[in-house]
Structure 1
Amino acid sequence: MDDSLTSQNLDLKQRQLKSENKILRISFVGSTLFLLSECLAAFFTHSQAVLMDCVYDLVDLAMLGPFMILVPKLYKPVTERWPYGFAQIESLFIIIKCGLLLFLDIQLLTDSVALILDGGHIVNAGAVAAFELFVSVSCVAMYLVLRNMNRHFSSPTVNAELYIWKLDAYSTGGVGLAFLIQLILQFTPLSFVVPYIDPAIAIFMALILAREPIMMIWDAVKSLILAAPGKDVMEQIRSKAEDILKGYDLYIDFLDVVKTGRKIWVDVYITQKDDMLSISSLKLAHDEIVARLKPEYQDVFVELIPEIEPDKLPG
Structure 2
Amino acid sequence: MKKDKLQIEKRILHLSFWGSVLFIVAEGIMAWITHSHSLLTDCLFDAADLVMIGPFLVLVPLLYKPVTEKHPYGYAQVESLFLLVKYSALLALTCNLLVENVKLLLHGGHEVDAGDIAIFEFLVCLGCLFMYIVLNHYSKKYESTTIKAELYMWKLDIVSSIGVAVAFAVQMILLRTPLSFLTPFIDPAVAVVMAVLLIMEPVKVIFQSIKNLVLFAPDEEVVGKIREIVGSHMQDYPYEVTFLDVIQTGRKLWVEVYIGNQTDVIHISKLHRVRDEIRQELKHKYDQVYIEIIPD
Q: TM-score, normalised by structure 2?
A: 0.98
Q: Tell me whether 1:215 sits opposite 2:204 in the alignment.
A: yes
| Corresponding position of 1:183 | 172
Residue of structure 2 aligned with 1:134, choices 120, 123, 145: 123
Task: Determine whether 1:160 maps to 2:154.
Answer: no
CA distance in 2, matches of 1:280, 1:152: 34
Residue 153 of structure 1, CA deviation? 2.0
Partner of residue 48, structure 1:
37
Are the equivalent residues in 1 in contact too, given 2:2–2:64 (CA < 8 A)? yes
Residues 1:97 and 2:89 are matched in the alignment: no
Alignment partner, residue 16 of structure 2: 27
Range with greater deviation from structure 2 (234-243 or 62-71): 234-243
Q: Distance in 1 between matches of 2:95 and 2:231?
A: 47
State the one-letter code of the partner of 1:271. Answer: G
C-alpha RMSD of the superposition: 0.8
SS at match of 2:243: strand
2:4 to 8, 11, 15: 15
Partner of 1:283: 272
Listed as ranges, the gaps of 5+ residues in structure 1 are 1-11, 308-315
Q: Does 1:197 align with 2:201?
A: no
Which residue of the other structure, out of 259, 262, 270, is the alignment partner of 1:273?
262
Runs of 5+ consecutive residues of structure 2 not aligned to the other structure: none
Verify the 8 A CA contact 2:144 2:287 in the aligned structure 1: no
Counterparts of 1:179 and 1:25 in 2: how far apart (Å)? Answer: 32
> 1:256 aligns to what?
245
Residues 38, 187 of structure 2: 8 Å contact kept? yes
Aligned-partner SS, 2:159: helix
Matched residues, percent identical?
47
Shift of residue 252 of structure 1?
0.7
Deviations 1:16-36 (CA, angstroms, capped at 9, x unpaired) = 111000000000110111111
Candidates 63, 78, 82, aligned match of 2:67: 78
Q: 1 CA distance for matches of 2:165 and 2:228?
A: 49
Give the paired residue count. Answer: 296
Query: 1:293-304 maps to which residues of 2 (within 5 A)?
Result: 293-304=282-293
The residue aligned with 2:228 is 239
Following TM superposition, the consecutive aligned residue runs of length 4 or more in structure 1 with deviations greater than 3 angstroms are: none
Question: How does the TM-score come out when normalised to structure 1?
Answer: 0.93
